[in-house]
């Protein structure tokens, strides 16, 4: 039978060893964190030099700009996070996205009566490209843009809470400019109507397996916000989405 004193001594040694391991672990973790932090700071300063050197290409070439944004995101740098400092003064990307955001707001509000506040992202990008390419102003408003630029600008607009936001509806991305929050029921109805541009209450009941009251609530809100127009001349009322019409803005 082992002596009690030996058991206690062994337990103390194990506790000390465990504490020593934990201290060493914390020391290594701290050293690694500090090392990574220094590497990131070095990389950020190199990124700033790179941005200053390639400023014209970043502002002029959409693909180059997208790759630069991706590179920034990987190390947690947001070139759009501040209107002051290096990014705005040296690179000017803050001004670029500010001007693009203003254009997006103007287009979305001007088109709301025609498309019900829903616009395919691809349509918005195409329209902005046409407008900017025909601009003769010596500013960022005539610089080339691509889908990634518009998505980033819309994301910044979402923070302002003005109702303009990007949504995924089925296989398509759309920019919505109505301040009302859309539920999954609303987006489900929108997706169902994408194929033909319109939908009936009976069709929603059949394909979504909803009860009549649920369908009425979803359609009533969409109609109230002007996102659907009702054709009551047909045998069965059709709910048309102007956003899905080729004639929409």
Whether pLDDT at 91 is above 60: no
The DSSP element (H or E) to which 85 belongs, if any, is helix 85-86
- Helices 147-160 and 93-115 cross at an angle (nearest 10°) of 80
More confident residue, 180 or 29: 180
pLDDT in tens, 172-197: 999 999 888 899 999 999 999 998 99
CATH of domain 77-167: 1.10.10.10
pLDDT in tens, 181-237: 899 999 999 999 998 999 999 999 999 999 999 999 999 999 999 999 999 888 899
Domains 77-167 and 180-249 are alike in CATH topology = yes
Question: What CA–CA distance (Å, rounded) separates 229 from 127?
Answer: 24
Query: Could you tell me if 72 and 79 are in contact, meaning their C-beta atoms sit under 8 angstroms apart?
Result: yes
Percentage of the chain modeled with pLDDT above 70: 67
Give the confidence band of 29 by pLDDT, cuts at 50, 70, 90: low
| Alpha-carbon torsion, ordered 121, 127, 128, 130, to 10 deg | 150
Residue among 212, 183, 213, 215 at smallest CA distance from 199? 215
Q: Is the CATH number of domain 180-249 1.20.1540.10?
A: no
Give the confidence band of 244 by pLDDT, cuts at 50, 70, 90: confident
Residue 148 class from Cβ within 10 Å (0-12 exposed, 13-18 middle, 19+ buried)? Answer: middle
Q: Where are the domains of the chain?
A: 77-167, 180-249
């Amino acid at each position: 039978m082992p002596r009690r004193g030996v058991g206690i001594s062994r337990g103390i040694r194990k506790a000390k060893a465990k504490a020593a391991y934990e201290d060493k672990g914390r020391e290594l973790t701290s050293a690694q964190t500090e090392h990574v932090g220094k590497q990131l700071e070095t990389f950020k300063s190199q990124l700033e030099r790179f941005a200053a050197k390639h400023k014209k290409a970043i502002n002029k070439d959409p693909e180059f700009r997208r790759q630069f944004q991706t590179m920034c995101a990987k190390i947690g740098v947001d070139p759009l996070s501040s209107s002051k400092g290096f990014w705005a003064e040296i690179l000017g990307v803050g001004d670029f996205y500010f001007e693009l955001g203003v254009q997006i707001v103007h287009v979305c509000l001007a088109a709301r009566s025609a498309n019900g506040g829903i616009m395919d992202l691809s349509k918005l990008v195409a329209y902005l490209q046409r407008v900017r390419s025909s601009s003769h102003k010596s500013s960022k408003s005539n610089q080339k843009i691509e889908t990634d630029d518009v998505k980033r600008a819309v994301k910044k607009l979402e923070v302002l809470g003005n109702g303009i936001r990007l949504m995924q509806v089925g296989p398509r991305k759309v920019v919505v400019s109505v301040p009302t929050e859309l539920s999954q029921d609303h987006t489900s109805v929108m997706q169902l109507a994408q194929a033909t541009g319109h939908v009936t209450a009976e069709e929603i009941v059949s394909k979504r397996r909803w009860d009549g009251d649920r369908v009425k609530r979803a359609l009533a809100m969409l109609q109230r916000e002007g996102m659907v127009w009702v054709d009551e001349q047909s045998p069965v009322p059709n709910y048309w989405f102007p956003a899905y019409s080729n004639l929409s803005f």
